[in-house]
Structure 1
Amino acid sequence: MMNFLNLEYFLTAAEELNFTKAAKKLFISQQSLSSHISKLENDLGVELFNRTVPLTLTPAGKSLVKNALRILDLKEQSVKELADIKDFKRGDLFIGASHTRGRAFLPEILPYYNEKFPNINLHLLEGNSKELDAALLKGDVDLIIGMLPFNVENVEMVPLCNEEVLMVVPDNILVKYFPNNYMEVKQKLEKDMDITLLKDCPFLMVNAKNRVRIIADEMFNEKEIKPNIILETESIETVLALSVKGMGITFYPKTLMNNKDLIFDKNTITGVNLYHLKYNKTHGTLAIGYQKNRYVSQALKEFIELAKDKYGNIE
């Protein structure tokens, strides 16, 4: 009979393809790991690894990797469902959010959630848009928070509020690049938002896996602009901080500017212009996403309800 622990150990060994490294990762001896693998092979009547250097998976081993992931995921979902049926007194909730989105969004929800459900263990995975989409697909998180669309199949979406990506343009950049008609350009941007006017100006950008960057790149491509990017970083807060100091132009989500706990709020920024972009994808929706084909735990349902109560203002 197949043992869940043996399956978990097998997957770790299959990932590392080295029994010594896998045993170290599992905090067990190599002898103990080999014993678990041998027991699994005996139960199934097949060899799972070619004992070569380096270690490789047999065709049976490759097949089991795929199915073991499904088996263990189903086991995890069953445990959650049974815990909910029993009493909903304990459990886990895995949340995925970007660093900045988590900092702006979660303090408005998690303290109340924790007070109401103190025995639910909260786990936060922070990453960029592509990393969060992948984590949801793999089942590493129960939900993700971000702008629609989520690039994952079979995702249930819970819209929370309208979102808009603004362009942040420091006054000194306009003065430097348009010394003879600074006010005229400023007014034209306010009225028509023709981004081609800024094609020679310096831009500060988040890296290519961030959704804000993806939207900006699509906009540049549509306008046939090759932007003068003088800095790229993982942190969207860093590009805003540098832009406010006059280093270059950047893009930033409006809802994050409304959060008083971030480095700035829009009422304290001076010498900077915030422009609404005339591009469809800069106007979107902030939402929660979770997989349709997975068990929706009571812990997840309660989180969604709290989030909707706080942010549910779609017009």
Structure 2
Amino acid sequence: MNLVSYYYFVEAAKDLHITNTAKRLFISQQNLSNHIQKLEQYYGVELFNRKPKLSLTYAGEKLLEAAERILGEDANVINQLAEISEKGVGVLRVGIPAYRAQVCLPLILPIFYQKWPNIKIQLTETQSANMEEMVAEGLLDVFIGIKNADDSALEVTPLLNDHTYLMASDTLLHKYYGKRADRLKQEALNGTDLKAFSELPYMLVKLPNRLRKTTDECFNAAGYKPNVFIESSNTELLISLYPKDFAAFFVTEMRLPLLEDIMTNSSCFPLMSGGDLIMHRLVIAHRAEKYLTQYVKDFIKISIEVLQEIEISRQKARGKAGKRV
């Protein structure tokens, strides 16, 4: 069976929308459908339920698991043979959440491609928990994110500590706190447990987002349920609404450089719990017993060096984190 058919099937299973998958892969819908039909004919089963909407059959779920393993092993073989041939050609499968990629990859990839110009990078941009599983299963070479489980199958290197911030505009603070707003900002400059901000409305990302879990814990510790203006699983939607001064918003430290355009006349207050600043440790991880090509090793090394430089710069700047942006 052609590996391309497996690849197209796996991609279609991600979207469960033939039109969207075909557009994303720059192929025709007919071409994509033909590959899926070939697999169905080869195995003698239906892989998708077509109505009322596209979904995987039980057979499709089983083939998806097998196809991902097959494609993963194929990538591993390509990498090993490429290194043996010393042509410097191969595939690097990197998992990283999209907004972290915006910050990290423009710093990492120029250095990496100076040494490895012929390496193709396949990006997976999803939640850290999903990518952690994919690395353990051999579907990714490395992931950059927040480690969830205590998994001995992974070799993990810390990169930096990512703090969590409450972001609120002056307009919003003065609307709800009046003359108290300026004093409130000064008191929260170096950290807040949210008790003093109970009157604000909030824009929140939906569970199971890690940031939402963290902020829910803070609200519980502060002893109140937040006034939720809007919830959404789309963080970019919340960011687009922030300049309208509807509500306060929570962000990770890594997002702050990406939000400079919308943070005029705003303040950022680091969140605290039990008197300590809340932070999550960003790591880079790979499967401990997996064969690593030299370019994978170099990518890991470069990532560590770049992110640790960012951490050093952050440590110098954190004293100013609560000041007006």
TM over 0.5: yes
- The 5 A counterparts of 1:23-62 are 25=32, 27-28=34-35, 30=37, 33=39, 36-37=42-43
Aligned mate of 1:149, from 137, 147, 150: 147
The aligned counterpart of 1:187 is 186
Secondary structure at the counterpart of residue 159 of structure 2 = strand
Distance 2:305 2:176 in 1: 46
TM (norm. structure 1) is 0.72
1:248-287 superposed matches below 5 A: 248-257=247-256, 259=257, 262-264=258-260, 269-279=263-273, 282-287=278-283
Match for 2:291: what amino acid? Answer: Y
Aligned to 1:107: 106
CA deviation after TM superposition for structure 1 residue 249, in Å = 1.4
Aligned counterpart, 1:40:
none
Identity %: 26
Shift, 1:203, TM fit: 1.0
Do the aligned residues in 1 keep the contact of 2:93 with 2:122 (CA within 8 Å)? yes
Whole-angstrom CA distance in 1 between matches of 2:290 and 2:198: 46
Partner of 2:225: 226
Contact preservation (8 Å) 1:100, 1:236: no
Match of 1:311 in 2: 307
* Bigger-Rg structure (1/2): 1
- What root-mean-square deviation, in Å, do the aligned CA atoms of Structure 1 and Structure 2 show? 4.1
Q: Is the 8 A contact 1:49 1:56 kept in 2?
A: no
Whole-angstrom distance in 2 between the partners of 1:72 and 1:131:
18
Unaligned segments of structure 2, at least 5 residues: 19-29, 51-55, 313-325
Aligned to 1:41: none
The answer to whether structure 1 residue 203 and structure 2 residue 197 are counterparts is no
Give the letter aligned to residue 288 of structure 1: I
TM-score by length of 2: 0.70
CA contact (8 A) 1:100 1:237 kept: no
Q: Are the equivalent residues in 1 in contact too, given 2:194–2:218 (CA < 8 A)?
A: no
Taking the TM superposition and a 5 Å limit, the aligned residue runs for 1:76-115 are 76-87=75-86, 89-115=88-114
What secondary structure does 1:193 align onto?
Answer: coil
The answer as to 2:246 corresponding to 1:247 is yes
Letter in 1 for 2:105: L
Shift of 1:92: 0.7
Distance 1:96 1:286 in 2: 13
Instruction: Supply the distance in 2 between the matched residues of 1:229 and 1:248 (Cα, whole angstroms).
Output: 8
Instruction: Show the 5 A alignment for 1:127-166.
Output: 127-146=126-145, 148-151=146-149, 153=151, 154-166=153-165
Q: How many residues align?
A: 287
Q: Structure 1's 85 and 221: CA in aligned 2 closer, same or farther, altered over 3 A?
A: farther
